[in-house]
Homo-oligomer: A and B are copies of this chain.
Amino acid sequence: MKRFAVKGDIIYTKTPAEFSMAADSYILCEDGICRGVVPSLKGAWKDADVLDYSGKLIMPGFVDLHAHAPQYAYRGMGMDLQLLEWLNTYTFPEEAKYADTAYASRMYASFVDELVVGPTTRAVLFGTIHTDSDLLLAGLLEKTGIKVFLGKVNMNRNSSQALTETTEESLSETERFIKGLDGFTNVHPAITPRFVPSCTPELMTGLGKLAEKYSLPIQSHLDENKSEIQWVRELHPECASYTDVYRRYGLLNAHTVMAHCVHLTPDEEKLMKDSGAFIAHCPQSNVNLCSGVAPVVHYIEQHMNMGLGTDIAGGASLNMFRAASDAIRVSKLRYYFTQQDRPLTVSEAFYLATKGGGAFFGKTGSFEDGYELDAIVVDDTGFSRLENLNPAQRAERVLYLSDYRNIKEKFVRGRRIYEES
């Protein structure tokens, strides 16, 4: 049994409603699991090893619930387009290049390099349809120590020729991808139908069965953009809604994460809630592609499962600090223009970025007893010399200033996976 304590100014959220903070305190860690936050070490912990980060902030690791690894290479481009046009102009031509593993190797390396130095300790990622390149990416990610659900993407209709699989190869390649991750510790497969317009009912049904057979999580996109929703309606007159398509073809359950959910109808909201599926709110992407703003405060009030995603490259930034402050910003404009709900608070955004999304991985994203110890150590002394700030005020600045050069160390399940060089 390996025990140690992490000392510093501790900040986390048990609930969206408020921060839990403990200045100059200790997180107890036993075999990678948090055993409480205490002001001093006593009893069995009296002589435990201490990792002393006095004066620095200790936060839970951040969880990126939705990002596309192959889109990192062209982030910040074509941001004048809306979803469907952007996919055809930038995304599909670029993703087609990942048939070439040499190309994928170069591009994925830079994606992984940034992921390592940022605040993300867990991520749910899309690859492309190309199994070999996806396995290559998995290999790069495995070495980082970051915990990842990674998907080989499935597409068998309405895509460019280069990105259209047959149903059979899409399913068999998915199975090859799943088996290729046998023995991986950090990277595990996720079933990844791109979105309804890209997958026939037959493919979706087959993927649902694979998810069941191998007990795998599922990720896709839902209700991002009004034209997309209209298209799905035309494609699936047999279904009551976009969400209902996923339900009907066996892809909606408590281990599903759906990116966006900007425009859920009340019926769809009920389907999502009843299934226990997660929402990956991607604020920057929804603005860049002019998709709208999800009613996040409403979803919180409905106790829906939800976290945040950067959605590289609908979002131009892989920085989860920024995703959290962007979530606040877009909620303010939604409130300003619609007078519905209220803006997201800082603790709510922090919760979504940590414990909210962390729940997709189990007990992670908090320092409560029984949670896996994923943590980042942040040196915020460079922000200014203002005195007497509490950890919550300092955490707000970390989200708003979004500079991850301040991240000094990063832990996953009690293991240090990154240390600033």
In the assembled complex, A397 has its CB within 8 A of some CB on chain B = yes
Q: Tell me the chain A residues, 49-105 only, with Cβ under 8 Å from chain B.
A: 72-77, 79-80
In the assembled complex, A418 has its CB within 8 A of some CB on chain B = no
> Bound state CA distance, A328 and B76, in angstroms?
12
Asked whether B400 lies within 8 Å of A79 as measured between CB atoms, the reply is: yes
Asked whether A396 lies within 8 Å of B79 as measured between CB atoms, the reply is: yes
In the assembled complex, A136 has its CB within 8 A of some CB on chain B = no
Q: A336 to chain B: which residues have CB within 8 Å?
A: 290-293
In the assembled complex, A271 has its CB within 8 A of some CB on chain B = no
Asked whether B287 lies within 8 Å of A333 as measured between CB atoms, the reply is: yes
With A107-B385, A384-B110 as contacts: A333 and B397 at CB distance below 8 Å: no
With A73-B385, A338-B337, A386-B73 as contacts: A288 and B79 at CB distance below 8 Å: no
- Contact for A75 among B73, B389, B401, CB less than 8 A: B401
- Residue on B nearest A389 in the bound complex, by CB: B77
Asked whether B343 lies within 8 Å of A80 as measured between CB atoms, the reply is: yes
Asked whether B346 lies within 8 Å of A80 as measured between CB atoms, the reply is: yes
> Bound state CA distance, A106 and B385, in angstroms?
8
Q: A346 to chain B: which residues have CB within 8 Å?
A: 79-80
> Bound state CA distance, A291 and B332, in angstroms?
9
> How near does chain B come to A245, taking the closest CB pair, in angstroms?
25
Number of identical protomers: 2
Asked whether A384 lies within 8 Å of B74 as measured between CB atoms, the reply is: yes
In the assembled complex, A161 has its CB within 8 A of some CB on chain B = no
Q: A330 to chain B: which residues have CB within 8 Å?
A: 333
In the assembled complex, A329 has its CB within 8 A of some CB on chain B = yes
> Bound state CA distance, A79 and B393, in angstroms?
10
- Residue on B nearest A329 in the bound complex, by CB: B287
Interface centre among A76, A290, A345, A346 (most CB of B within 10 A): A76
- Contact for A343 among B290, B325, B389, B400, CB less than 8 A: B290
Asked whether A332 lies within 8 Å of B288 as measured between CB atoms, the reply is: yes
- Residue on B nearest A106 in the bound complex, by CB: B385
Q: Tell me the chain A residues, 159-216 only, with Cβ under 8 Å from chain B.
A: none
Asked whether A77 lies within 8 Å of B332 as measured between CB atoms, the reply is: no
In the assembled complex, A383 has its CB within 8 A of some CB on chain B = yes
Interface centre among A77, A290, A328, A399 (most CB of B within 10 A): A77
- Residue on B nearest A332 in the bound complex, by CB: B290
> Bound state CA distance, A269 and B324, in angstroms?
36
- Residue on B nearest A291 in the bound complex, by CB: B336
In the assembled complex, A21 has its CB within 8 A of some CB on chain B = no
In the assembled complex, A335 has its CB within 8 A of some CB on chain B = yes
In the assembled complex, A316 has its CB within 8 A of some CB on chain B = yes
Asked whether B287 lies within 8 Å of A332 as measured between CB atoms, the reply is: yes
Q: A293 to chain B: which residues have CB within 8 Å?
A: 333, 336
> Bound state CA distance, A284 and B287, in angstroms?
14
> Bound state CA distance, A333 and B332, in angstroms?
11
In the assembled complex, A15 has its CB within 8 A of some CB on chain B = no
Q: A79-B400, A293-B333 are in contact. List 13 more A-B contacts (CB 8 A).
A: A75-B397, A76-B383, A77-B393, A79-B328, A79-B346, A107-B384, A110-B385, A284-B329, A287-B329, A288-B332, A290-B343, A316-B325, A316-B400
The 9 closest A-B pairs by CB, nearest first: A76-B400, A337-B337, A76-B397, A316-B400, A73-B384, A333-B333, A290-B332, A287-B329, A76-B401
Pairs A–B under 8 Å by Cβ, sample size 11: A73-B384, A73-B385, A76-B396, A77-B396, A79-B396, A107-B384, A288-B329, A290-B336, A293-B333, A317-B401, A333-B333
